Amino acid sequence: MTLKLDKPSYSPGEVASLAGVHSSDHPELHPRREHDSDHPGPRVTHRVRNVTVNDTKKPTKRTAARDTSSEGWTDEERAAMKEHSQELKAAKRRGSAGKADGESDVLAKIAEMPEPDRTMAERIHAVVKASAPELAPRTWYGMPAYAKDGKVVCFFQAAAKFKARYATFGFNDTANLDDGTMWPTSWALTKLTAADEAAIGELVRKAVR
């Protein structure tokens, strides 16, 4: 809306009245006006010009805030995070008596894997249980894993999990694999030989010493 007001407009008689001059002494300053008797005193008028009213409201633009919390994550990574959230809730419900349920979860995940991931996961599960019976099987981000005192020591990541070129058998920092100032903590796997299984068994035993 645009509204412009002119400066107040006074008649000559009104100017004289405002200045303290009696109009009776100067009748020329107070010309006859209709209805003056109904409106005593000086008359002030405002002339309004250039009034533009635009009742059309512009629509308010609302841009929905983008959810960037998962921006840059792949579908597989988001699925793994969702699985981990479910694992934490399940562990809380089970409490300390959930070792058997944890192994059932691991075996169920292994059964879902395509080949050759499934066969390697089955063999690694057997090797880990034989090498370190104290480790508790459990899933970790949807992967078979083995924990001590509630902390994951080692895990098997299927190649299909994140569409990788190879599967991975890895250790977390709770594993006692220290060797000087630098040592490996994960191994790429395309298949398992008897020698590979023996090497994994030795690594697992060392990890829990």
Task: Parse the chain into domains and list their residue ranges.
Answer: 2-52, 75-207
Q: What is the pLDDT of residues 164-202, one digit of tens each?
A: 999 999 999 999 999 999 999 999 999 999 999 999 999
* pLDDT > 80? residue 87: no
Q: Mind listing the pLDDT tens digit for each residue in 93-142?
A: 776 555 668 999 999 999 999 999 999 999 999 999 999 999 999 999 99
Say yes or no to pLDDT of 46 above 70: no
Distances (CA, A) of 179 to 131, 138, 170, 206, 209: 20, 27, 16, 11, 14
Residue in the block written with tokens 């009213």: 53
- DSSP assignment, residue 173? T
Confidence bin at 64 (pLDDT 50/70/90): very low
Q: Which of 53-57, 84-88, 149-153 has the lowest mean pLDDT?
A: 53-57
d(CA 85, CA 45) in angstroms, rounded, equals 76
Query: In this structure, how many other beta carbons lie within 10 angstroms of the beta carbon of residue 119?
Result: 13
For 75-207, the fitting CATH number among 3.40.980.10, 3.90.1150.200, 3.40.50.720, 3.40.1260.20 is: 3.90.1150.200
Instruction: Measure the CA–CA gap between 77 and 69, rounded to whole angstroms.
Output: 13
**DSSP 8-state symbol, 21:** -
In single-letter form, the type of residue at position 110 comes to: I
Q: Is the pTM of this model over 0.85?
A: no
Residues 137/129, Cβ–Cβ less than 8 Å: yes
Q: Which residues contact 104 (CB under 8 A, 6 or more apart)?
A: none
Tell me the CA end-to-end span of the chain in Å, nearest whole number: 82
Give the full edge-to-edge strand order of the sheet including 143-148: 136-140, 143-148, 151-157, 167-171, 186-189
